[in-house]
Structure 1
Amino acid sequence: MKVSYQWLKEYLDLDVAPRELAEKIARTSVDINDVYQPADGLKKIVVGKVVAMQDHPNSDHLHICQVDVGEEQPIQVVCGAPNVTTGKKVIVALNGARIADNVKIKRGKIRGVESNGMLCALQEIGFSDKIAPKDYSAGLYFLPDDAKEGEPVFGYLGMDDTIIDTDVTPNRGDMLSMYGNVNDIAAFYGLQSHFKELPVEENGTENTSDLVSAKIDDHKIAPTYKLRVIKGVKIADSPLWLQIRLWNAGIRPVNNVVDVTNYILLKYGQPLHSYDYDRLPGHDFGVRHAKEDEKFTTLDGDEQTLKANDILVTVDNQPVALAGTMGGEGTAVSDQTTTVALEAAIFDPVMVRKQARRLDLHSESSMRFERGINPATVETALNEAAELIKELAGGQVTKGIVTGSEKSAADKQITLSLAKVNHVLGTDLQMADVEDVFSRLRFAADVKDDDQIDVTVPARRWDIFVAADLYEEIARIYGYDNLPSTLPVMTRNRGGLTPRQRFIRASRHDLEGMGLTQAISYSLTTVDKAKQFQIDPVAEPMKLDFPMSSDHVATRMSIISGLLIDIAYNVSRNVNNVALYEEGRVFLPKGGERPEEQEHLAGAITGQMLANDWHTEDRPVDFFQVKGIVERYLHNMGLTGKVTYVADQSRREMHPGRTANILLDGQLVGFLGQVHPSTAKVYKIPATYVFELNLESLIAAPKVANEYHPISKYPSITRDIALLVDDDITNAMVMDVINKRGGAFLKDVHLFDVYSGLHLPKGKKSLAYTLTYQDDNDTLTEDQVNAAFDKVTKSLTDTLGAEIR
């Protein structure tokens, strides 16, 4: 909210500089975006009066103006504004002046005629198009007739004021009003507030209840709803003081009725809405849910398509406004309006927020409804608005208020313990100190004994509910910088990681040690991507009711899709060698229950894991390299179970010939392989290999204890064997036979050659292995190794039908 320093001084006896005040607000209440004067950077801009004017001889739109700027002789200025006329007071930038965007005005000639300055529109001295009055949007702004020629214009336009732009957090909706700011500033400076309320004087002869009625069936969507009627108004421009209040707050002046509602919004934080009474479809007001796909045209002329959760203000069941968001086009106050129906209400903040966000119709009103409205000032604001409209538009306020619903302004009672206050804040406050804080906040406090105090929180602070909220109030009013520095009281418990935490941390370290870089991707994705790359396929992911964007509508059931998005991001920026891993949670729906959250570990690699160099041949990542990473990881995690890899073709997004399921003791714990080329094309990535493991299964699996195995000092003996086997015989089958029959001294088996093709019978392939034998306690003899090796060859021949080459 843009808070006017001059407006604050009407209610508080401030003797601090604006920037000092802003710093105090930032340290005590809410953040500050900026502190500035609208006149900053401007100079030599004064009041002028056009005393004479003639057409430019060399132009069909320029005028030569003689302008009185308080000097002995008028100055000559060439002006092209369409509304320039004699006798009007205007904004004049003199020779050497600085206007908006640091533009310097110089004396010169325009089409051969000397010009000694510039006549300015509001936009040319820093006003934005959004706040400059529409009547002057294409021409000069006329100053009041009592403006004195030659004086700086800043005081006449409120540009000499200082604006404190506050950044209000959602819990401090009371700070979106002058009323809230005055109360808070008075509290932390210990000042007496002179906040003034303007009572209404009903000068009409008719009863409001004879003109309108209001019935709210659902008090949840509109806890408070009140109406007044002002007859005989005359729509005109607001007085300059009111326009200044609005445009310094970032609101465009419109007319005297609409401007009053915006002024009250700034003063009390209470949004109001004014209707042209004679254009309403009837006189029975109500608030209801919109119908699904119901159409409604808002003030900005756009037709909105509504949902069942939206809320509407209706008259005779016909929609006239989006409740708390924007009024309708057909009932807006216009120059022809003579009778105004004035609405003050409180609408459900959650529904207003969702409605405004979905329709992208955020406004000053919706921002306040979303953060909460003070129920104690709804009627006060309505009455003051009616009185101001009467004064500025010459109307008659009818008798009484029509109330459709009313939320009582109930105060809250909270009991505090002085000992608890000091314990939480680390202070040594006395009861008198605490009483003083609540006195400055204007919270009634009743001391029960030396430790207990009952505090009555007024309705204007609807953000306070429990004792902890009052601890915060004490701390900020007492002064955060006055709180002593104390060390926390801690027990001497021994810290450490749980087995689960150690396993997850070890997993990260292990993959980073193998050259992968950690990535963190979104847990929300599209429905299609959420269904991809699942270990155990689930039909549908869990969807959000109110997603923030179309790319984040469902919870992920696999991590891989997020990694592929990261790879696409890198590849599009010419980073072609990418190796990423991510450890995180996936969310598996369980019917109507909360989803099951599983910890998963996934990796994605494209290009080469090793950079090109002069002595290494280019070798893009392949299935076996990724399988090696997974094998090494599972080995390093100390799993005692048997890990097997089984070819798989069930996942459409994976290459059917280069994908394998990972089984631990026969249980599916993950998969690895190449992303299907068609899927890779969709993600805009080159050939990429991925893996994903269910860490829940790995954490729960039995593991070997930490052991030390001394390195044998005795020599090893190797034997090579080449086998001719059928094509359907796998390496795993051969390894099982060798390890089973290899004997106690077999330490390692290594496949060093695979060959199929020419010079071999059809349907056959050649596999060559190196077997390493070693005794940890003695030197092996040739006879021992030969005997063990013969058992292996015989078993391979008998079991697999292998031919020893």
Structure 2
Amino acid sequence: MKISYNWLKQFLKVDWEAEKIGELLTDLGLEVEGIETVESIKGSLKGIVVGKVLTCVQHPNADKLKITTVDIGSTEILQIVCGAPNVAVGQTVPVATIGTTLYDDKGNSFVIKKGKIRGEESFGMICAEDELGLGTNHDGIMILDDELVAGTAVSKVFNIEKDEVFEIGLTPNRADAMSHLGTARDLRAGLIQNNVSLELISPSVSDFHVDERTLKFDVVVEDAEKAPRYAGLTISNITVKESPSWLQNRLKAIGLSPINNVVDVTNYVLHELGQPLHAFDASKVKGNKVIVKTLPAGTKFTTLDGVERSLHEEDLMICNGNEDPMCIAGVFGGIDSGVSANTTSIFLESAYFNPVAVRKTAKRHALNTDASFRFERGIDPNITEYALKRAANLILEVAGGKVTSEITDLYPSKIEDFQVFLSFQKMDRLIGSEIPRETVKNILASLDIKVNNVTESGIGLTIPSYRVDVTREADVIEEILRVYGYNNVEFSHKLNTSISFSEFDIVKVENVAANQLVSQGFYETMANSLTKSDYVSLSEMLNEDQNVAMLNPLSNDLGVMRQSLLFSGLESVIYNINRKNGSLKLFEFGKTYHKFESGYSEQKHLTLFVSGNRTKHNWNVAQKSSDFFYLKGTVVSLLNRLGIQNVKTTPTKNDVFSEGITLSLGKIKLVDLGVVKRSILKEFGIKQEVLFADFNWENVLKVGGKSQIKIAELPKFPSVKRDFALLLDEQVTFNEIYNLAFQAEKNLLKDVDLFDVYEGDKLENGKKSYAVSFLLQDENKTLNDVQIDKIMQKLQQTFEKNVGATLR
């Protein structure tokens, strides 16, 4: 939300620096994320001076150019080449001197420099009004008043307004602060706490009156639940045109583009008071009647953006006497009933619509407007008529005309203020310190919270209806505390804490794992648990039916809860690669979410991502690429750090890997790790190899720190380890090698392990290299070389016969 400081000063005559105001607003809970300086004319016409054209002759080398001499009030007369058809001797003109920065209509800057144009020197530029940002005319140079003195800064001639705009990160509960009036109310309360007492000046509507009663519309509200309050009036004989500069400047400062004087006034009042308004062209309201009702499902309606929409039976609509829809109530106007250049009379609407109804309609039609943003969160139901009068007065000021009807105000069931009792004891307990009672009453008064009665135990309060977020005693305490100042609360230097008697602290284990990874050069990431629903199609092990879908997603990219941490991690990988950071070591603790027939399930994971070089580039360190063996070593060392040893290696069944293994303890699967498939990487635009490890963290917690110590006699006979470097076709998996090995030797082969994978330009196309180790042991005797060689030869022949392997 953008708040103009100049606009704010219309409510509070405050003279603090903008930075100090920003700090106070942040302390009050309206967090200022930035302060931007805004100029009504970009550059504020700096370097533009008044000049007098002394001579004007034809350019000898160009038919459309003239050579002028211009007096700009200095000792030197400037020669300027000008292409404007209307330049003439004796004119008073704006001159951009050498070094002046000008801006085009897109905001791009360019600097005026000394130059030669068709062989003639030019020492500046005589400007048209569009070149200065003073208008859109480019038919010729701008002619100024002859009474102006040469050399006068043009910025003094025109009213250039500078403003400072606060960018406020407004929380959804603070509907009351979604306007300059609401922000001013909070600011006043904060200033009072800083011993600065200022009057809140709200715009006066005392001069509002009905001029004549010649254009009346009957108003019927058929659904009072969705439209608890609806008001309107007519204004005739208006002239729709461009808004005056003061109004345009206010809107431009907060990022709005002026449209016309009537629409600009409705936008102005919206951001001034927080009350959305809508103006209908009275000539297009058929039947002289306005009906607020719902329409049958499937009714077609074209909105202002030119999109034809199919209405829902619960969408509240503003209709004419023929029951034709003119506007989606509280959300968006229709293309056929809005104000145009030909409009001479309007019906001006001010209403309070049910927040839930507006939110549902806006979500159904994927519309998010300034009006719906406020209606959804709850506006002040008691400001409806006041805002209507305020807007009517402004329209009469900028568009002329007369108020030609009484105000119709349908408000059958008044929305009452909230009654809350504040207990002093509970307030002191929650805050942890006692705030003086008189200070509490002053803070409540500054927030327009009425004190009904005071007792020894507490205060009876009436909360204004516009504070939709303050309905409980705890809410009132929060209001008192944020105005009093969290930093002003005294706290004890005594530290109270609970002692954990857990034998296996989950947080401690995560910290141990994180510290180990960080010490090895890994960086922790935290990705959004919401992700794209399409990602499940990248793995056959993920099921679209198990997606936990959002009912009202912010976007298609955040439509479901993630079933795997792989894809959000790959988003981080490509984000870094695109920013020239290709050597990555990342880890994340996170959850996956699944919907099963039995209910919803959350599973905790730890994932590692490794890509590029192992270390940063350094002149005295040889660069070495991360590989499968490096990732496996990292995983095994982490398991060892957590007290998990003697894990078993088996081929992985996870189809996200082109090559991968699973590490298990007994029948408990702990980690899947390997090289991510190129087809998956291609979906993210990743061209380099990415290694991925996925810990089932819940299983790690089951066995880590809880493993029983088993004492067994050392084997009497030694084991023997032998390695093969196998050259294989790309499609051969470690799973095949693993199974073939145990088929060939069932008795003496104890373990098969893949410890390196190589795919590179040193191998022929379609080939890869596996480094595989084999553990052999006889429990009854020592193996000799003859037995070992026989087994290894048998394994070699098996691999050659079944998968076409050769030894490197």
Report the equivalent of 2:204. 197
Deviates more, 1:597-606 or 1:501-510: 501-510
1:143-542, aligned counterparts within 5 Å?
158-160=159-161, 162-170=163-171, 171-187=173-189, 188=191, 189-199=196-206, 200-206=208-214, 208=216, 211-217=217-223, 219-220=225-226, 222-280=227-285, 283-286=289-292, 288=294, 294=300, 296-298=302-304, 302-303=306-307, 305=309, 308=312, 313-315=318-320, 316-347=322-353, 364-403=370-409, 408-425=414-431, 427-479=433-485, 482-484=488-490, 486-487=492-493, 490-491=496-497, 493=499, 498-506=504-512, 508=514, 520-530=526-536, 539-542=545-548
1:693 positional shift: 4.4
Q: Secondary structure at the match of 2:548?
A: coil
Q: Secondary structure at the match of 1:379?
A: helix
- Are residues 665 and 285 of structure 1, via their aligned partners in 2, closer, same or farther at CA, if it must alter by over 3 Å? same
Report the equivalent of 2:596. 590
Q: CA RMSD in A?
A: 5.9
- Are residues 227 and 668 of structure 1, via their aligned partners in 2, closer, same or farther at CA, if it must alter by over 3 Å? same
Q: Is the 8 A contact 1:48 1:67 kept in 2?
A: no
1:596 positional shift: 0.5
Identity score, percent: 26
Deviates more, 1:563-572 or 1:427-436: 563-572
Q: Secondary structure at the match of 2:455?
A: coil
Q: Is the 8 A contact 1:224 1:406 kept in 2?
A: yes
Q: Distance in 1 between matches of 2:110 and 2:623?
A: 63
Q: Is the 8 A contact 1:143 1:156 kept in 2?
A: no
Q: Secondary structure at the match of 1:433?
A: helix
Q: Is the 8 A contact 1:527 1:541 kept in 2?
A: yes
Letter in 1 for 2:277: L
Which has the higher Rg, Structure 1 or Structure 2? 1
Letter in 2 for 1:190: S
Deviates more, 1:42-51 or 1:20-29: 42-51
Letter in 1 for 2:166: D
Deviates more, 1:53-62 or 1:574-583: 53-62
Q: Distance in 2 between matches of 1:263 and 1:365?
A: 12
- Are residues 80 and 268 of structure 1, via their aligned partners in 2, closer, same or farther at CA, if it must alter by over 3 Å? farther
Residues 122-154 of structure 1: per-residue CA shift (max 9 Å, x gap)? 6625x7xxxx7xx65988889999999997665
1:298 positional shift: 1.6
Q: Is the 8 A contact 1:752 1:770 kept in 2?
A: no
Q: Is the 8 A contact 2:127 2:141 kept in 1?
A: yes
Q: Distance in 2 between matches of 1:26 and 1:688?
A: 43
Match of 1:789 among 752, 764, 781: 781
TM-score by length of 2: 0.71
Q: Is the 8 A contact 2:748 2:778 kept in 1?
A: no
Q: Distance in 1 between matches of 2:640 and 2:16?
A: 70
Q: Distance in 2 between matches of 1:327 and 1:63?
A: 51
1:662 positional shift: 6.2
- Are residues 585 and 617 of structure 1, via their aligned partners in 2, closer, same or farther at CA, if it must alter by over 3 Å? closer
Report the equivalent of 1:599. 604
Q: Is the 8 A contact 1:237 1:254 kept in 2?
A: yes
1:499 positional shift: 3.9
Residue 124 (structure 1) aligned with residue 132 (structure 2): yes
Q: Distance in 1 between matches of 2:452 and 2:713?
A: 79
- Are residues 605 and 357 of structure 1, via their aligned partners in 2, closer, same or farther at CA, if it must alter by over 3 Å? same
Structure 2: give runs of 5+ residues left out of the alignment: 104-108, 723-736, 756-771, 789-793, 796-808
How many residue pairs get matched? 737
Q: Distance in 2 between matches of 1:607 and 1:492?
A: 45
Q: Is the 8 A contact 1:567 1:685 kept in 2?
A: no
1:727 positional shift: 11
Residues 722-762 of structure 1: per-residue CA shift (max 9 Å, x gap)? 9xxx99775599687788xxxxxxxxx99999xxxxxxxxx
- Are residues 195 and 620 of structure 1, via their aligned partners in 2, closer, same or farther at CA, if it must alter by over 3 Å? closer
Q: Is the 8 A contact 2:269 2:276 kept in 1?
A: yes
Residues 639-680 of structure 1: per-residue CA shift (max 9 Å, x gap)? 69x97666576x65555xx66666655466665565556555
1:450 positional shift: 3.1
Q: Is the 8 A contact 1:19 1:35 kept in 2?
A: no
Q: Distance in 1 between matches of 2:704 and 2:622?
A: 40
Q: Is the 8 A contact 2:50 2:153 kept in 1?
A: no
Residues 656-712 of structure 1: per-residue CA shift (max 9 Å, x gap)? xx6666665546666556555655555545666655443334434597557598999
Q: Secondary structure at the match of 1:331?
A: coil
- Are residues 114 and 415 of structure 1, via their aligned partners in 2, closer, same or farther at CA, if it must alter by over 3 Å? same
1:625-640, aligned counterparts within 5 Å?
none
Q: Distance in 2 between matches of 1:750 and 1:109?
A: 81
Q: Is the 8 A contact 1:45 1:91 kept in 2?
A: no
1:291 positional shift: 5.5
Q: Distance in 2 between matches of 1:358 and 1:144?
A: 56
1:433 positional shift: 1.7
Q: Is the 8 A contact 2:234 2:348 kept in 1?
A: yes
- Are residues 692 and 14 of structure 1, via their aligned partners in 2, closer, same or farther at CA, if it must alter by over 3 Å? closer
Residues 166-221 of structure 1: per-residue CA shift (max 9 Å, x gap)? 4251344434434224433433232223323214311222463xx2434353734x
Q: Is the 8 A contact 2:56 2:88 kept in 1?
A: no
Q: Secondary structure at the match of 2:343?
A: coil
1:340 positional shift: 0.5
